[in-house]
Structure 1
């Protein structure tokens, strides 16, 4: 059974977690698109943005466990990964060599399916094959240069493997995301994500039930909106400069 967390009056369901993650991701992308590195606002918003990814990884494992149709779940991720890539390349990556975070989550789903298939094997064989599977998916993530690369896959694996023990899963997941600093990232600033996840009550929110694809559309939608805002600001500056 899953470890029971006494949350008292704090009630954080999937809707709350998704909204928090989306707000943090929005801050991160506002900084990247509208501000310059070195600017205090840029640095603060980028650090706030670190909270988003661990929450998305946690929600992915929850979705994988409780969804009624895993093929449709993976298909939705693939569809929105492909739809988001063009605007991602223009607004964030500025290169076709890097893939957006939806591809990372899609690889995570594939890994979780493999790990579940291995769960009925003897412990020794399961341990070896699970390790090989994780290593292989990490190599693929790094090779195709999807967001967070191997660190992202390990983050998803940590939440899934230790899912029966909430505190242990949070500890390992935070250690994993902190390794992002080795790649020039700022994973240490993701700590608030694990506080929010700790108080998760295991319930699905009304928004997630009624507007299932709203959060999927938010990813390419907010990137496109920020890109247009950035272009508009530049256009206004250009006209004022030459007027």
Structure 2
């Protein structure tokens, strides 16, 4: 009997992630909406990072892939800067996952070159600089974790699961630690801490979507390829301007 393939293509997963992202950003711009919109939004970035790593292995030109994402980041940063200049608001417009994803592709490229050439003098400093740069992007340490886990354990779903769960839960478990004095350590664990203050750990619930991916691209139309590059900045700019016009 034939094994049933997982259900979702790359494009379908991307659409799911985009929907979750919109819910997340709706709550970010309009706090009157339910907080659980933000909970659902925690699943979005991991799916996009997962698909970016998959794209790294399927693209014909990795350099162009990274450049396209980074160029998207530059265009979005410029657009956001122009919008916030002419329409200043009490809420910023800082989102820009393009830089996190683009540097993630650059990181994987450098890592692969290191493995293939063994040139540690060249590629270890490059990898180090990329890691430092990623810390200053939107995804920061979580972006680094996801790229490394999805890249290194792509063929080992058991290890991918283990390290992804640890990587998503550990920061939230450590964050309640407080060092008030050199020898005084407190641990303020509470329901509020995990469900109001720091709910990044909910990224762990994106895990099932990785197993639903069937490895297929899905739609091959040019519109599908450029969908995220246009939709991502556009929906943020629309939400920002809508909030501006409502509360101006």
TM range (shorter): 0.7 to 0.9
Contact 1:167 1:198 in 2 (8 A): no
Distance in structure 2 (CA, Å) of the matches to 1:92 and 1:203: 43
The alpha-carbon deviation at position 54 of structure 1 amounts to 0.7
Number of matched pairs: 218
- Residues 134/154 of structure 1: CA separation in 2 closer, same or farther (3 Å cut): farther
Distance in structure 2 (CA, Å) of the matches to 1:132 and 1:149: 19
Q: How does 1:230-241 map to 2 (within 5 A)?
A: 230-235=243-248
The alpha-carbon deviation at position 206 of structure 1 amounts to 0.9
Q: Which residue of the other structure, out of 114, 130, 133, is the alignment partner of 1:140?
A: 133
Name the Cα RMSD after superposition. Answer: 3.0
Q: Deviations over 1:106-149 (max 9, x none)?
A: 11011000111122367xx98x998876554332222xx21121
Q: Deviations over 1:158-192 (max 9, x none)?
A: 10011111232133123223344256642321233
Distance in structure 2 (CA, Å) of the matches to 1:209 and 1:106: 20
Distance in structure 2 (CA, Å) of the matches to 1:133 and 1:161: 18
The alpha-carbon deviation at position 24 of structure 1 amounts to 1.0
The alpha-carbon deviation at position 219 of structure 1 amounts to 0.8
Q: Does 2:9 correspond to 1:18? A: no
- Residues 34/179 of structure 1: CA separation in 2 closer, same or farther (3 Å cut): same
- Residues 174/54 of structure 1: CA separation in 2 closer, same or farther (3 Å cut): farther
Aligned residue number for residue 241 of structure 1: none
Provide the TM-score with structure 1 as the length reference.
0.77
Provide the TM-score with structure 2 as the length reference.
0.76
Q: Does 2:58 correspond to 1:66? A: yes
Q: Secondary structure at the match of 2:98?
A: helix
- Residues 45/100 of structure 1: CA separation in 2 closer, same or farther (3 Å cut): same
Distance in structure 2 (CA, Å) of the matches to 1:116 and 1:191: 27
Q: Does 2:224 correspond to 1:211? A: yes
Distance in structure 2 (CA, Å) of the matches to 1:196 and 1:209: 24
Q: Does 2:190 correspond to 1:194? A: no
